[in-house]
Structure 1
Amino acid sequence: LVYVFSYNLLQFCGHTWILANTIARFLMFGQALADTFYSVGFVMSLCQLLSILELFHIADGIEKARLLPRFIQVMEKNLLLIMIIMLEELQSKPVVCAQFFFWNILDLLYPHELLCIMEKPSTTMLWTRYSLWIPLYILSVIIEASVTVWQLLKERQHQLEKWNKKRK
């Protein structure tokens, strides 16, 4: 009980810090920031790495949830974060700021898990978690898909240019 409570509290604090930092920087500079990854990337990476533990929580029966949907969500975020880390030119794109914003709003719903652990679930938190999650997740997936497509188009352009140079 202490472990799961501590885990959820740590995740909530990490995602709250990332979101607060992102919003503050956005309000100070007034646009999607090119250096969001550099300012919050380490904490985001740490939170996402720790999110893998949720799969073990479900498998061990510590948390009541379906394993496959959570596996897909956790791995999707981790793979995209790895892609952002590996592709330095992507790190400075405003889409990273938007993606981190949506991810962290979704992950601010950890208090629902904390309340459930304390056996004091809140109807409001339950409704928010399962209602707000739907449009935010859809927006997040749209942004993720656009980044994947953007990367594929860039790779296509690079390969065609390379092929054209060989042809000449």
Structure 2
Amino acid sequence: LRVEMQTLTPHVYWAQRHSEIYLRVELSDVQNLDISVQDNILRFRAQGHGAKGDNEYEFSLEFLEPVKPEVTHRSTQRQVNITVKKQEHSWWDRLTVQERKPLFLAPDFDRWLDESDAEMELREKEERINRYLNQTPALFFPEFLGLKKGYLFMYNLVQFLGFSWIFVNMTVRLFILGQDSFYDTFHTIADMMYFCQILAVAEVVNPALGLVKTGVMPAMIQVVGRNVILFVIFGSLEEMQNKAVVFFVFYLWSMIEIVRYPYYMLACIDNEWKLLTWLRYSIWIPLYPLGVLAEAVAVIQSLPIFDETRLYSIPLPKALGQSLSFSYTLQLYLVLMFLGLFINFRHLFKQRMRRFRAKKRKAH
């Protein structure tokens, strides 16, 4: 009679980060250890003391996504720790290709993090590295750190003063003139708004040069979007300058910025006000979508004006017609505007979650 020996599998626990997979094999006094990764399958074989006593144990795992063939491991008296690097930095929904989890596999709750916690851990590591890098030039050139903070503080101060002037001016005029203030907003506010929005180009340059840690793309989406509304829609069309939508666009912009810029000012001098921090990470939730909605109304109101005046129209060959109205470009821009809203809203929401999660951790 032929007797088939049952394959013995040890208890295996797993966890992940964006770049690595961690495996903990419950096997003590390990001998003849053989671990390899080939064709994206990890194979493990060893002799040791496990759930079935002293025996030879083995298992294999076919990973969900590609991993690097190099495997690092460390054996202790109680277990074998294995680290496998992912080919790409990403978060996996599960460990293996097969949806049904193997019976011998379980989460390693000692190392388990969900995706947002892993992002926070990664950010904390980056911040520690950045703090070291920021301190390094200051050791030899103490004025470097002072110049950087001084520049950022002054930039945020100037923007805060500019948008505060806009907000206070519009609020006072609203109380004095009522609805009449809607229709001459552009003529009284535009010069200061031009100044602030031209200066806001620095918000794209600063992260590109590494002066601040925010992303370049979210800043570019906001700066370019606002400048299209200000310079192209309002600035080039006199017919738009007397419309009430100008008031709502400018007012919503200034309400957001009179909170954002003082928050950054205090951050430059390593200071924080709890109320201001809460407003910085909360006030955008209603105001940002309302601002985009007001901008969309301005674009829609400008479409027939561009069709009529043929301003910025694109010349075409005679066979195709005289020109292509700029309004078609703006219709495409409307779609991109709401796509930008989604991207920036998601970015800001993640910022908010990370900020308040970090504060809770510090409190505990």
Normalising to structure 2: TM-score of the pair? Answer: 0.42
- Tell me the residue number matched to 2:92: none
- Tell me the residue number matched to 1:21: 169
Quote how far apart the aligned CAs of 1:74 are.
0.7
Identity of aligned residues (%): 36
- Which structure has greater strand proportion? 2
- Tell me the residue number matched to 2:289: 138
- Tell me the residue number matched to 1:81: 230
Once the two structures are superposed, the pairs formed by residues 19-168 of structure 1 within 5 Å of their partners are 19-31=167-179, 32-83=181-232, 84-108=234-258, 109-155=260-306
- 1:30 corresponds to which letter in structure 2? G
Q: 1:8 aligns with which of 130, 142, 156?
A: 156
Quote how far apart the aligned CAs of 1:156 are.
5.2
Determine the C-alpha separation between the residues in 2 that align with 1:122 and 1:19: 21
Quote how far apart the aligned CAs of 1:123 are.
2.9
- 1:22 corresponds to which letter in structure 2? M
Determine the C-alpha separation between the residues in 2 that align with 1:70 and 1:2: 21
How big is each residue's C-alpha offset from its partner over 1:40-74, in whole Å with a ceiling of 9 and x where there is no partner? 10000000000001111111121221111111001
Determine the C-alpha separation between the residues in 2 that align with 1:153 and 1:92: 16
Q: Compared with structure 1, are the counterparts of its residues 123 and 100 closer, same or farther at alpha carbon in structure 2 (3 Å cutoff)?
A: same
Secondary structure of the corresponding residue to residue 35 of structure 1 = helix
Q: Is the 8 A contact 1:33 1:94 kept in 2?
A: yes
Quote how far apart the aligned CAs of 1:103 are.
0.5
Secondary structure of the corresponding residue to residue 26 of structure 1 = helix
Quote how far apart the aligned CAs of 1:157 are.
7.0
- 1:15 corresponds to which letter in structure 2? F
Structure number with greater CO (CA < 8 Å, separation at least 6) is 1
Determine the C-alpha separation between the residues in 1 that align with 2:271 and 2:228: 34
Q: Is the 8 A contact 1:25 1:33 kept in 2?
A: no
Quote how far apart the aligned CAs of 1:126 are.
2.0
How big is each residue's C-alpha offset from its partner over 1:92-133, in whole Å with a ceiling of 9 and x where there is no partner? 111101110000011112010001111112332222112111
Gaps of 5+ in 1: 160-168
- Tell me the residue number matched to 1:165: none
RMSD: 1.5
| Number of equivalent positions | 159
Determine the C-alpha separation between the residues in 2 that align with 1:132 and 1:29: 27
Secondary structure of the corresponding residue to residue 282 of structure 2 = helix
How big is each residue's C-alpha offset from its partner over 1:15-57, in whole Å with a ceiling of 9 and x where there is no partner? 0001111111111001142111111100000000000011111
Larger radius of gyration: 2
- 1:124 corresponds to which letter in structure 2? L
Shifted more, 95-104 versus 23-32: the winner is 23-32
- Which structure has greater helix proportion? 1
Q: Compared with structure 1, are the counterparts of its residues 61 and 123 closer, same or farther at alpha carbon in structure 2 (3 Å cutoff)?
A: farther
- 2:251 corresponds to which letter in structure 1? F
Q: Is the 8 A contact 1:15 1:104 kept in 2?
A: yes
- Tell me the residue number matched to 2:335: none
